[in-house]
Amino acid sequence: MRAAALWLALDWQRQRGGPAESTDDGDLSMLVSPEDDPELAYLKRTYRAEFSDCFSTALLALEPRQRNVLRLKYLDGLSIDQLAALYGVHRSTTARWVLGAQETLLQQTRQRLTERLRLTSSQLDSVLRLISSQLDVSLSRLLRSRMND
């Protein structure tokens, strides 16, 4: 019941001209304190698990070169210039590869989440804001474990 009320509150805020994109911890954090709300904590855990599964599936669906450039850039810390030297191509080519891999990964993850959770685009954005504080650690762990598969 509380989750439905939160969704309605978010929709109401958007309809009355509230900010479309929030730069804080998310619209839900203003409505309920996560420490005091076991239902919100449950939603975070559930959505984090769903995100993790969809992200992993999208990551494995990338082409091998896309996975490799993401691993080299984000896990190994190589710069665009270092990637270019490694592959023997111009730096703009590797920049396009990295950007393309990122966009594909994001698009596929969003598509899988939308289909699995049956959410609208704005609801998906709210879910991602809800779990965003734990995503950095999760993404690093997923990249490490899934890149080697």
Task: Please count the CA atoms within 13 angstroms of the CA of 64 that sit on its side-chain side.
Answer: 2
C-alpha span between 20 and 107 (Å, rounded): 20
Identify whether the C-beta of residue 113 lies closer than 8 Å to the C-beta of residue 50.
Answer: yes
- pLDDT tens-digit map of 97-131: 999 999 999 899 999 999 998 988 888 888 888 88
- pLDDT tens-digit map of 36-88: 577 777 888 888 888 888 988 999 999 999 999 998 998 889 999 999 999 99
**Between the CA of residue 81 and those of 75, 94, 97, 147, what are the distances in Å?**
16, 8, 13, 22
- Evaluated on CA atoms 57, 61, 66, 68, the torsion sign reads positive
Identify whether the C-beta of residue 9 lies closer than 8 Å to the C-beta of residue 31.
Answer: yes
Q: What is the pLDDT, as a whole number, of residue 23?
A: 44
> Considering the entire predicted model, what is its pTM?
0.65
